[in-house]
Amino acid sequence: MKILVLNGPNLNLLGTREPEIYGTVTLLDIEKEILEYSKSFSGVEIEFFQSNHEGEIVDKIQSAKELYNGIIINPAAYTHTSVAIADAIKAVNIPTVEIHLSNINAREDFRKKSITALSCIGQISGFGKNGYLAGLFCLVKYLEN
C-alpha cells in the first residue's frame, strides 16, 4: 500500500514558524516520525512532497493516480481557498485524509472553513504532529476494509 504525504505552503518553515501555534518540530522531524510509525503496518510505503505552490500541489495529486492508494494532506493556507486542490482530489478519487497541526476551528473565522475537506474522507485538526500519525492509522484502516 502506497501513501503520499503532501504538505502545503509555509510548512517547510516548521520549527521556526509561529512556534507558539505550530510547535518547534521541523517538517523533517515529522516526516521521520511518520516513516518510523509506518513500519508498524506491514507493506506500507510512504512518499513525501512539500510545495509552496498551488499548481505544483495540483500536479502532484494528478500524478498520484495509479501510483498511490491514499493521500495524507495538510494543504495549509490553501485549505481555506483552493477549489483547484479540492477538485484535484475529487478527480483522482484517491482516499485522502486532511491534517492540521493547529485546531483550525478554534482560530480566526477564515480558518474555520475548509474547502479541501469537502473532497476528503476525514479531517484531523489540533493534535500537532500526532495528527499525521493518527491520519496514517485511520487511512491504513480505511484502505484495509
99-121: b (≥16 Cβ within 10 Å) or e: bbbbebeeeeeebeebbbbebbb
CB of 104 to ligand DQA, least distance (A): 5
Q: Which of residues 52 and 69 has its CB atom nearest to ligand DQA in the complex? A: 52
- For the question of residue 37 being annotated catalytic, the response is no
- Cell, residue 19: 512556534
Q: Is 74 in the site for ligand DQA (CB under 6 A)?
A: yes
- For the question of residue 100 being annotated catalytic, the response is yes
Q: Is 115 in the site for ligand DQA (CB under 6 A)?
A: no
Residue selected from 1, 25, 35, 77 as contacting ligand DQA according to rule CB under 6 A:
77
Residue with cell 495528527: 131
